[in-house]
Structure 1
Amino acid sequence: MQRIYMDANATTPLLPEVFEAMRPFYLEHYGNASSIHQQGQQARAAVDRARESVAGLLHCRPAEIVFTSGGTESDNLALFGVLSPGDHLITTSIEHHAVLHAAQSLQSRGVEVTILPVTPSGIVEPATLLAALKPNTRLVSIMYANNETGVIQPIDALAGIAHAGGALFHTDAVQAAGKLPLDVSPHGFLKDVDLLTISGHKIHAPKGMGALYVRRSVQLSPIFHGGSHERQRRAGTENVPGIVGLGKAAAMASEWLKTDAPAKLAALRDRLEQTILAQVEETGVNSAGAARVANTTNIYFDHVEAEALLIALDLKGLSVSGGSACQSGASEPSHVLTAMGLSANRARASLRFSLSKLTTEAEVDEALKLIPEAVAHLRRLSPVQASRTVTVPA
């Protein structure tokens, strides 16, 4: 059976070029990057080159990149590294739990927390943020692209409002990196972003590797204590192979974004989306009409449990997701979709399809054969829905 992978927002496959860049640092160049001997200096040089590549993706200084173990650590470092009891944090109802659960913990430690609502399309309106600012607002944390719907937030406007109110601005850009241009330079469209999170395994780098951009004017307290690594911002011996892999993937992503490949990926996503809606009754796109990253669509299939549909498609060789992989197995409907106003039933009937730069037209064609058949089969199993019809292509 040919397997088709459409769950890139959960993780992406490691690219062969990335693996080959990493391989020598597992076998031949195994030195500790903090050692002063030759093996150590070889490792340090590789870390420095990777830091330059990641900085190139974000258009920042290499010294402003802090390597971490991934998106969760970067988000936690951004929040815990800036906030103190008595400070005010503003975030949103659709954030990844790496931010929401960190906010809950900070609240228990004396940080005031405001959770902003979103529109039915999943957008944070700038006026809502403006109204929530207080004199003690220290940090605003709003994700750039949502991991479940792909919706892109007006980060430039939101960050500008935060700065005008005297607050720092953090964005979880885990789902934006490698899909959207990111420019935090003084003249870039993200010039008011002070902290920015990326994760390696979302851009074809290894799992367990990430980075946090920290504008050089931001004072960041470490959450790990030990050595003076990462300019005393993140203690711990550097994961040299992982850092090299992230650097290679960042360099490849920078080049990919300069081509017409993002537009071609969006066209594949649109064909998948539009054909499903044309062939399967009582379906719709969550966040339809909102700006979204090129690879993501979140579709509801009324009268079908998404979990059952996910399993049915998996048995046919198609891997998709019911939402965030970090919430897999949770009995509650997606907090993102319910925050947008979807009923619990519709949220539980929604599937996320997230393509990658490796997705082919042939894979989309095959998926479009499997999805209507699986939906029709599941709806036929319910006597109440016996009259529901699905147009299955010949």
Structure 2
Amino acid sequence: MSLFLDNAATSFPKPEAVYRAMDAAMREVGVAPGRGGYRQSLAAARIVYEARAALAAFFGVSDSSRLVFTHSATESINIAVSGLLKAGDHVVSTTVEHNALLRPLQLMRERGVEVTLVQGDREGKVSERQIAAALRPNTRLVALAHCSNVTGAIQPVEEIARIARAGGALMLVDAAQSAGYLPIDCETMGIDLLAAPGHKGLFGPPGTGILAIAEGLRLDPLLVGGTGGNASSPHQPEQLPERFESGTTNTPALAGLKAGLDFILEKGLAAIRAKERGLIAQLLEGLRFIPGVVLYGPLAGEHGGAVSFNVEGRDPSELAFALDHNFDISVRAGLHCAPHVHRTIGTYPGGTVRVSPGFFNNEDDIGFFLKAMRELR
């Protein structure tokens, strides 16, 4: 039986309720909301509304209309960055970001936006003091990931948001590796823009994402077109969420995302995090005692769900292939779409092997992985 340890890429398997919700939405509803006044269309609108309201409550967004559905955290980041920044603005980010943030910032740089990347340490961490030192009078945005998909380092988001606000800047958080694992309350933490995928820690299907937008913040849309309303106007609507939700809504996917969130609420975020902590601790402890293994990221204290390592004398891609081919264990090798992180921690250009257990893994799974590693070593 195969062992999936790549939950930092996407959670698998999903809770059974996610599959059932998507199947029911496809079979029993089958249409998008806002495209008619008949019962099926109203049923679709109810699915989308309930998903939006539940996710807004989960992330501390008091006005659910300001939680926008997207196709991915990457799309959410692009809407936030391109919709906010103008030539002459300044952005502070870090050297430990995923390309989902770095590439939109690079595009903005080419359009006249200044970008400062604060240097992360060898564990992949930055401090609020570093962010404060990088702020300028024209700093419009501080943008960073809550948790690294390579090192598992967790950034002090609340403290950094406080620094950003004091400096007159907005705060964008990439929650790809923290949504569904770590507590996030946008209003109490001072997060102005929150981007998160649905298919990772929220247990939803691929092709889902959210962008939470703080009250009073206006962004230009990335995509315009049909929204199911205001059909007589040639202009994109101003009101949210329609301003950012052009095109046909993927109702079955949002039904699945709502079911994933319901699973988290049923199990309890604290219980999910505690299980993840236990598996990560077992993984780190076991890898530490395998000769030749070099671990990256925090080895003590808070740690996200991704563990990166290399084995002296072995190519990470070859090692990942051997785990898959000989033991049917799925891990990821390479740069993990985050080349700057690897430059920061000293693993560029080869990258690392990344192991990321999920809620449906257990101690026996980690034990089997560690046994396989000892054999391969």
Both structures adopt the same fold (TM-score exceeding 0.5): yes
Q: Provide the residue aligned with 2:238 in structure 1.
A: none
Q: Provide the residue aligned with 1:133 in structure 2.
A: 135
Question: Offset of 1:291 from its aligned partner?
Answer: 4.5
Question: Offset of 1:114 from its aligned partner?
Answer: 1.2
**Range with greater deviation from structure 2 (263-272 or 237-246):** 263-272
Q: Secondary structure at the match of 1:118?
A: coil
**1:365 correspondence with 2:363:** no
Question: Offset of 1:323 from its aligned partner?
Answer: 4.9
Q: Provide the residue aligned with 2:195 in structure 1.
A: 197
Q: 1:95-244 to 2 correspondence within 5 Å?
A: 95-185=97-187, 188=188, 190=189, 192-203=190-201, 204-228=203-227, 230-244=241-255
Give the Cα–Cα distance (whole angstroms) in 1 for the partners of residues 43 and 268 of structure 2: 30
Residues 283 and 183 of structure 1, relative CA distance in 2, 3 Å threshold: same
**Range with greater deviation from structure 2 (259-268 or 197-206):** 259-268
Question: Offset of 1:207 from its aligned partner?
Answer: 0.5
What is the letter of the counterpart of residue 51 of structure 2? A
Q: Provide the residue aligned with 1:298 in structure 2.
A: 308
CA RMSD of aligned residues (A): 1.8
Contact 2:320 2:331 in 1 (8 A): yes
Give the Cα–Cα distance (whole angstroms) in 1 for the partners of residues 242 and 147 of structure 2: 29
Residues 228 and 178 of structure 1, relative CA distance in 2, 3 Å threshold: same
Residues 211 and 261 of structure 1, relative CA distance in 2, 3 Å threshold: closer
Structure 2 unmatched ranges of 5 or more? 229-240
Contact 2:153 2:304 in 1 (8 A): no
Q: Provide the residue aligned with 2:42 in structure 1.
A: 41
Give the Cα–Cα distance (whole angstroms) in 1 for the partners of residues 347 and 366 of structure 2: 29
Give the Cα–Cα distance (whole angstroms) in 2 for the partners of residues 36 and 206 of structure 1: 28
Contact 1:151 1:290 in 2 (8 A): no
Contact 2:227 2:242 in 1 (8 A): yes
Q: Deviations over 1:97-138 (max 9, x none)?
A: 011111111111111111111112211121211111111111
Q: Provide the residue aligned with 2:317 in structure 1.
A: 307
Give the Cα–Cα distance (whole angstroms) in 1 for the partners of residues 57 and 373 of structure 2: 40
Q: Provide the residue aligned with 1:11 in structure 2.
A: 10
Give the Cα–Cα distance (whole angstroms) in 1 for the partners of residues 177 and 324 of structure 2: 24
Q: Provide the residue aligned with 2:286 in structure 1.
A: 275
Q: Secondary structure at the match of 1:218?
A: coil
Question: Offset of 1:288 from its aligned partner?
Answer: 2.7
Contact 2:335 2:352 in 1 (8 A): no
Contact 1:210 1:246 in 2 (8 A): no
Give the Cα–Cα distance (whole angstroms) in 1 for the partners of residues 216 and 269 of structure 2: 30
Residues 171 and 259 of structure 1, relative CA distance in 2, 3 Å threshold: closer
Contact 1:121 1:290 in 2 (8 A): no
* Match for residue 331 of structure 2 among 320, 334, 343: 320
Contact 1:152 1:291 in 2 (8 A): no
Give the Cα–Cα distance (whole angstroms) in 2 for the partners of residues 293 and 50 of structure 1: 29
* Match for residue 247 of structure 1 among 258, 261, 269: 258
What is the letter of the counterpart of residue 186 of structure 2? V
Q: Provide the residue aligned with 1:74 in structure 2.
A: 76
Give the Cα–Cα distance (whole angstroms) in 1 for the partners of residues 340 and 270 of structure 2: 35
Give the Cα–Cα distance (whole angstroms) in 2 for the partners of residues 261 and 210 of structure 1: 20
Residues 259 and 162 of structure 1, relative CA distance in 2, 3 Å threshold: closer
Question: Offset of 1:19 from its aligned partner?
Answer: 1.2
**1:256 correspondence with 2:267:** yes
Q: Provide the residue aligned with 2:59 in structure 1.
A: 58
Structure 1 unmatched ranges of 5 or more? 328-333, 376-394
Question: Offset of 1:259 from its aligned partner?
Answer: 4.6
Give the Cα–Cα distance (whole angstroms) in 2 for the partners of residues 134 and 292 of structure 1: 31
Contact 1:145 1:292 in 2 (8 A): no
TM-score for the superposition, normalised by structure 1: 0.87
Q: Provide the residue aligned with 2:296 in structure 1.
A: 286
Q: Deviations over 1:266-297 (max 9, x none)?
A: 1122112212221x213232113465445322
Contact 2:198 2:205 in 1 (8 A): yes
Q: Provide the residue aligned with 1:388 in structure 2.
A: none
Residues 153 and 112 of structure 1, relative CA distance in 2, 3 Å threshold: same
Give the Cα–Cα distance (whole angstroms) in 2 for the partners of residues 308 and 323 of structure 1: 10
Give the Cα–Cα distance (whole angstroms) in 1 for the partners of residues 46 and 53 of structure 2: 11
Question: Offset of 1:349 from its aligned partner?
Answer: 6.4
Q: Provide the residue aligned with 2:90 in structure 1.
A: 88
Residues 294 and 266 of structure 1, relative CA distance in 2, 3 Å threshold: farther
Give the Cα–Cα distance (whole angstroms) in 1 for the partners of residues 320 and 41 of structure 2: 47
% of aligned pairs identical? Answer: 31
Q: Secondary structure at the match of 1:202?
A: coil
Give the Cα–Cα distance (whole angstroms) in 1 for the partners of residues 331 and 272 of structure 2: 22
Q: Secondary structure at the match of 1:142?
A: strand
Residues 323 and 52 of structure 1, relative CA distance in 2, 3 Å threshold: farther
